[in-house]
Amino acid sequence: MRPPDRAGAAWAIALRGPLADLRPVLGPPGHAEGGAVRPDGAATGAPAAEGGPPLTLDLRFDRVTMGGDRNLLGVQAWARTDARGVLREAQATGRTAARGLGSAPPAPACRPGPASPAPSSSP
């Protein structure tokens, strides 16, 4: 995190790592505080927007898991928000992962098979 260099400028935040787990954020409707649906099925209002500093985000993760056997690989994203938290610019790249990545049981330990003789040549 880098604070703004002048008043009104954006905070710069860079996050990098092998895994970003978005399952808590992308859960079923109403799962998070201030969610869209109450247990009785009625809609709730969004929390009031509060002012804050503008942000620039630079995100890079080897894998992003979103639950439901959905994963992205090689994710790079950049975003800019204003002081009201409104997303003003964003760009993201990555690729989808094969189904089952991260949800399959661990592979059994590899055991070497019998050694094969290396090919040889005679003079």
pLDDT in tens, 30-89: 555 554 555 555 555 555 456 789 999 999 999 999 888 889 999 999 999 999 999 999
CA distance 123 to 19: 54
Domain presence at residue 108: no
Whether this prediction's pTM lies above 0.85 is answered by no
Domain presence at residue 107: no
Domain region containing 25: 1-30+50-98
Of residues 114 and 91, which shows the higher confidence score?
91
The whole-chain average pLDDT of the chain stands at 76
Domain presence at residue 114: no
The domain total for the chain is: 1
Residue that the structure tokens 């760009």 belong to: 91
Domain presence at residue 70: yes
CA distance 20 to 76: 12
How does strand 55-67 pair with strand 70-81?
antiparallel
Domain presence at residue 120: no
DSSP state of 102: T
